[in-house]
Amino acid sequence: MTINLENKELLIAMIAGSIVFVILAGFIIYFMFLYRQKQLLHANEQKRLEAQYQEAVMESRMEIQTQILQHVSSEIHDNLGQIASLINIHLHTFPTPENPQAEAKLRESRELVQRLTLDMRLLSQSLNTEHFSEKGFFRALEEESERIARTGIVSVHLNLPAPVPQLDKNIEVFLFRISQEILNNMLKHAQATEIHIDLELQPEHLAIRFRDNGIGFNPNLALQEGAARRKSGLRNLQKRCEWIHARLEIESAPGEGSRFILKLPL
Amino acid sequence: MTPDFWIYFTILLASSGYGIFHFRKMPAWLKALTLICLLTLLNEIVGRILAYSIRNSSPPYHIYVVFCYLLQCYIYTKIYKKTGFIRNYAIITAIILCTFSLTNSIFIQRPLTFPSHAILLASIFTLILILSSFVLMLRSPGESPLLAEASFWFNTANLVLYTTSFLYFALYNILIASGGIPDIYESVIAVFTILAYTFYGISLYLGNKKATAHDNQPGK
């Protein structure tokens, strides 16, 4: 069979066929383009929902943590604090023994109880979020530094910027809890004798640098070990920083102390 | 037999062979797709035998068009299980096509006549299914790239194949009236048919790969 191009109907059929096939190819290409766009939209929507979910989880965690800390703080203040005060009163009403050794022990016990009462009051305050909200992050950090220094294990040097920036109350709570965690880690694991806390106000962010002269550690190894045990203080710290859109850099090596640099965008 | 027929036949054989080889572990819709390939292969073989023996290859097409459409409906209802429209549409059009095809084969285009009316109707019904399927794909896009989706290749194969059939039979009378179907037209149709069955093969391969990967996931 041959093509009779003079045949008008045949020509129309051929042109119509070609047009349809061009449309077909165009349709598939356009569909692929549309599908890609939809995929991106869908992925963005999923990311948004994931972020929303994480935020809700974070809020409820914070709420639970605040309630627990509040409860512990009240227990320390109202219960343990009262018992310590009562012991203190009893010790003060105790007749001074004639034996010098017993008298020294009694004096020492009175001092210890007074120190216990003070430490418990400070600990109760540092756990109490309401109390913390009244003071703000910078004052609370000062008090926390004083409390740690009072333990006599390390000396704490705090360097605050002047003037201190105004931060969101929720972010201040997070910052304080992160700072507490870093300082507690330094106290528990670093075997340091000195801790330096430097706060620096930059045009774009607030930088908080924690530095100790302790035994140091390998941050990558600590993160890996923590991930393997599905429990990591460092990973939790990083997560908490992510929640407030802050960045945490950990610099340390065995024998070289450790540095935690937290950068909070302003 | 022309070289393009042999290419088409080889691809059809390869797609069917791949489907049969992995038949047991394939999801239901891919099994149905394998059956479509096998049915087409059988139809081609029987058609050629009849063409040599009675000089007419039309009789198997009367059965092929109906079974092929039923399998297409089955595939779409399996892919879009949760879409009521596809299920209802498939049931209604399958009943219409079966009734029409039977009537057509008995009264209008008898077994020795090519069932172009039934094929045209099946093409229209399938094209609507295909376009609906594309819309549904856009409504809920998957995470993997489109070119890695077996259902996309299946749909594209169907779009190419059924648009070709639709055009072929819609323009059939015009072409015949103007002195027969031109070679170039036959060649274009052959190329698109080869393309469609290649896409079926790709769909079988991707679908099977995905099913195997799913089965090999820990905890499965």
Q: How close is the nearest chain A Cα to the Cα of B143, in Å?
A: 7
Q: What is the pLDDT of residue A1?
A: 46
User: Do the Cβ atoms of A4 and B174 come within 8 Å?
Assistant: no
Q: Residue A89's pLDDT is what?
A: 83
* Mean pLDDT in residue range A213-242: 79
Q: What is the pLDDT of residue B88?
A: 92
CA distance B62 to B149: 32
- Segment A161-207, tens digit of pLDDT: 777 777 887 788 888 888 988 988 888 888 889 999 998 888 888 89
What pLDDT does A172 receive? 84
pLDDT for A74 beyond 70: yes
Taking CB atoms and an 8 Å limit, are B163 and A20 in contact across chains? yes
Query: How much is the pLDDT for A7?
Result: 63
Neighbouring C-alpha atoms within 13 Å toward the C-beta of A173: 18
Mean pLDDT of chain A: 83
* pLDDT tens profile B145-202: 889 999 999 999 999 998 888 877 777 767 777 777 777 777 778 888 899 999 999 9
User: Mutation test of the interface with chain A: which of B147, B163, B168, B195, choosing the one with the most A Cβ atoms within 10 A?
Assistant: B163
Our CA-based measurement puts residue B113 at a distance from the nearest CA of chain A, in whole angstroms, of: 21
Q: Which of A16, A24, A31 sits opposite B160 (nearest CB)?
A: A24
Distance (Å) from the alpha carbon of A29 to chain B's nearest alpha carbon: 11
Per-residue confidence band for A148, with pLDDT thresholds at 50, 70 and 90: confident
Top mean pLDDT of A116-120, A253-257, B94-98 is at B94-98
What is the overall mean pLDDT for chain B? 88
Q: What is the mean pLDDT of the segment spanning A150-162?
A: 83
Confidence (pLDDT) at B169: 75
User: In this predicted model, what pLDDT tens digit does every residue of B91-123 receive, in sequence order?
Assistant: 999 999 999 999 999 998 888 888 888 988 999
The ipTM assigned to this model is 0.80
SS3 B142: coil
Q: Which range has the worst mean pLDDT, A162-171, B47-56, B202-211?
A: A162-171
